[in-house]
Amino acid sequence: MKKKKIKSSLGSKIFTILNSLFMIAFVIITLYPVLNTVAISFNDGIDAVRGGIYLWPRKFAIKNYETVLAMENLIIGAKITVARTLIGTVSSLIVNALLAYVVSRKRFLFKSQLSLFWVITMYVNGGLIPVFLLYRNLHLTGTFWVYVVPGMVSAWNMLVLRTYMLGLPDSLEESAQLDGAGYMTIFWKIISPLCKPVYATIVLFVAVGQWNSWFDAMLYNRMKTEYTTLQYELMKLLSSVMQQSGSAASASERGSAAAAITPLTIRAAATVVTMLPIICLYPFLQRYFVTGLTIGGVKE
């Protein structure tokens, strides 16, 4: 008996040590590439090409950021990205919340039909080409609205909202109705304030999606530089063909004497600029996405 206890506590200690090592390795693998990019972004360009920069810049320079922030396309992209994130998130939240409210009313005439109508869209879609042609026929391509309108209603977000709303007590609605409140008053005054946590979840999901999307900019607005997005500009910087022309352009812009910047450091600086807002914000929103994911995953 005694022997066994000693043995198990030794085993437990070994387990704790190995487990801690695993977690440390996990954290290093997760963080290192990001921190390395930050270090490279603050390093002198020509020096950085030699490699061997780890967590701290070897030859400190701020020039990369000056160059990046002077790139016209990147600034336009940043403005468009902020605009699409704001407009896209707000409109998507309002429409999805209204739809979820409608289908979660127990006495609504078409609640099951309307739910089914949207659930089907999760599994069947026309595919890239028919969708592309549709947007072209609707004259959405080549405009800002192609970022906002097509993805406004999402069945998955609607289902998360609906699940949350169905969990609210019915008596709230009934007593408000006795007081003479209509459905819209109940939505704005009673249901929405109670749904703040799940709204925050949806806002987070939609906003991150908007901030990170690049494919729509490439597909629908390739020729329209005034509607380019941050991620798409970053992609152009990252792909090797653009790399050379981009660096050549920026080098000539700055004058050859001050060309201490290289594609490597420019890319790093642009990457840091693009990911900074999200990295600063997400730790504060943790509890929202944890609840949202649990609702969405389990009850779907």
Partner 1 sequence: MARVKQKKDKRITWKEVKRQKSLLIIAFFVTVYGFIFYYWPLTGWVMAFQNYKPAKGILGSKFVGLDKFKFLFQDAAFIRVIRNTFCMGALNLVTTTIMAILFAVLLNEIRSTIAKKLVQTISYMPHFLSWIIVTGILHDALSSTGIINDLLMRSGVITNAINFFAHPKYFWPIVAFANCWKETGWNAIIYLAAITAIDPSLYEAASIDGASRLQKIRYITLPGIKPTIMILLLMNIGNVLNAGFEVQYLLGNGLVQSVSQTIDIYVLNWGISQNDFSLGTAAGIFKSAVSIALIVICNYLAKRAGEERLF
Site for partner 1 in 191-220 (CB under 8 A): 208, 211-215, 219
Q: Does 55 bind partner 1 (CB under 8 A)?
A: no
Tokens of 139: 């004259």
- Report the alpha-carbon distance of residue 70 to residue 253 in Å, rounded: 10
Q: Which element (helix H / strand E) includes 81?
A: helix 72-104
Q: Does 17 bind partner 1 (CB under 8 A)?
A: no
Tokens of 111: 């609640």
Q: How far is the CB of 189 from partner 1 (least distance, A)?
A: 14
When the beta carbons of 92 and 256 are compared against partner 1, the nearer one is: 92
DSSP string, 102-113: HHH-TT-TTHHH
Site string for partner 1, 78-107 (x = CB under 8 A): -----------------x--xx--x--xxx
Q: Does 51 bind partner 1 (CB under 8 A)?
A: yes
Cα 138 to Cα 145, 146, 152: the distances in Å are 11, 10, 16
- Report the alpha-carbon distance of residue 194 to residue 170 in Å, rounded: 13
Q: In this structure, are residues 111 and 105 in contact, taking their beta carbons and an 8 Å threshold?
A: yes
Size of the chain in residues? 300
Q: In this structure, are residues 40 and 265 in contact, taking their beta carbons and an 8 Å threshold?
A: yes
Site string for partner 1, 125-154 (x = CB under 8 A): xxxxxxxxxx---x----------xx-xx-
Residues between 269 and 298 that touch partner 1 (CB under 8 A): 271, 274-275, 278-279, 282-283, 286, 289-290, 293-294, 297-298
Q: Does 76 bind partner 1 (CB under 8 A)?
A: no
Among 74, 268, 269, 288, binds partner 1 (CB under 8 A): 268
Q: Does 56 bind partner 1 (CB under 8 A)?
A: no
Q: What would you report as the CA-atom Rg of the chain, rounded to the nearest whole angstrom? A: 25
Among 118, 199, 227, 288, binds partner 1 (CB under 8 A): 118
Q: How far is the CB of 274 from partner 1 (least distance, A)?
A: 6
